Amino acid sequence: MELAKKIVIDGSSVLRKHYHTSKKATLRFLVIINDKDCYLPDALFRCLAKLAYAKLHNEDGWVSIRDIEPGVGRQYLLKLRIEVKRIGVMLVVLPGLWYGKPNHYRLEADEVIVKDLSEHPDFQVRELV
């Protein structure tokens, strides 16, 4: 399994059925990781967008777990890594505890590109722009 080197937060949406349940189709958003398409549900897309935005706009790239998703941030980070693993890529999110920043996380990738998300349906993602 390869590490995530290039991450493009695209935000294009598509209706997709969940891969292992018979639930109705839900809106999923495009992220391109190492030139592979990965469609994430809204909460996981929002989580990854916040990590990417912090990497691009904060000096050290750290983001508080409370800013990622209040109450369930760690669960979403785990789900995000599992979802991305389905396309054969390992997403590296470093915990800040190792670096003297408890309750903070940082996305590790060589290149992060965030496309225009000003028209995204999620207001929390639009606020990042």
Residue range 35-56, pLDDT digits in tens: 999 999 998 999 999 999 999 9
- State residue 89's pLDDT score: 92
Q: Cα separation of 3 and 113, whole Å?
A: 16
The residue with greater pLDDT, 73 or 84, is 84
- State residue 112's pLDDT score: 93
Residue 124 has pLDDT above 70, yes or no: yes
The CATH code of domain 2-128 reads 1.10.10
Contacts of 21 (CB under 8 A, 6+ apart): none
Residue 15 has pLDDT above 90, yes or no: no
Q: What is the mean pLDDT of residues 11-27?
A: 74
Q: Cα separation of 46 and 123, whole Å?
A: 10
